[in-house]
């Protein structure tokens, strides 16, 4: 029996459309998981308004000479990746700080702008502490 795809219940119609490569019907944009809105400042894109505002504060502090060597999205390797004897590739673990800089006393500061601290973030924060780094949450 030949059946029209439109005769299927919505759940199965969606699956069939995806399998045969048809584009999904336009729907309203998906709401962000943590209610954040992407923002930009010049050519730099941020994950949230809060992060962009903190960047602007840090730029002002840099102009005043209160901080130096400001970096965005600084990576810290927490665990190197490797390959098992069976050939399975195990990815490394990386913590990506929102901002790093040196304060006016020469202290290295790691900042993370947090709205909702996830379980993964909490775990990586502990791993950073094991390596001797403290994360300043803003």
Summarize the confidence of residues 65-89 as an average pLDDT. Answer: 95
Give per-residue pLDDT as tens, 91-105: 999 999 999 999 999
Beta-sheet strands, E only, within the chain: 39-41, 44-46, 67-79, 82-83, 89-90, 93-103, 108-112, 135-137
Q: Say which residues have a Cβ less than 8 Å from residue 52's Cβ, sequence separation at least 6.
A: 39, 40, 41, 46
pLDDT higher than 90, residue 122 = yes
Mean pLDDT of the chain: 87
Q: Say which residues have a Cβ less than 8 Å from residue 58's Cβ, sequence separation at least 6.
A: 67, 70, 99, 101, 111
């Amino acid at each position: 029996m030949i059946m029209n795809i439109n005769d299927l219940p919505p759940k199965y119609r969606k699956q069939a459309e995806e399998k045969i490569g048809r584009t999904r019907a336009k729907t309203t944009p998906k709401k962000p998981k943590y209610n954040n809105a992407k923002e930009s400042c010049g050519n730099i894109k941020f994950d949230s308004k809060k992060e962009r505002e903190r960047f602007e504060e840090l730029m002002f502090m840099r102009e005043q000479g209160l901080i130096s060597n400001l970096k965005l999205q600084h990576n810290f390797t927490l665990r190197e990746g490797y390959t098992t004897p069976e050939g399975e590739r195990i990815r490394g673990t990386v913590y990506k700080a929102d901002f790093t800089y040196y304060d006016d006393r020469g202290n290295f500061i790691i900042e993370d702008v947090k709205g909702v601290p996830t379980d993964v973030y909490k775990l990586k924060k502990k791993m950073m502490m094991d390596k001797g780094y403290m994360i300043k949450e803003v």
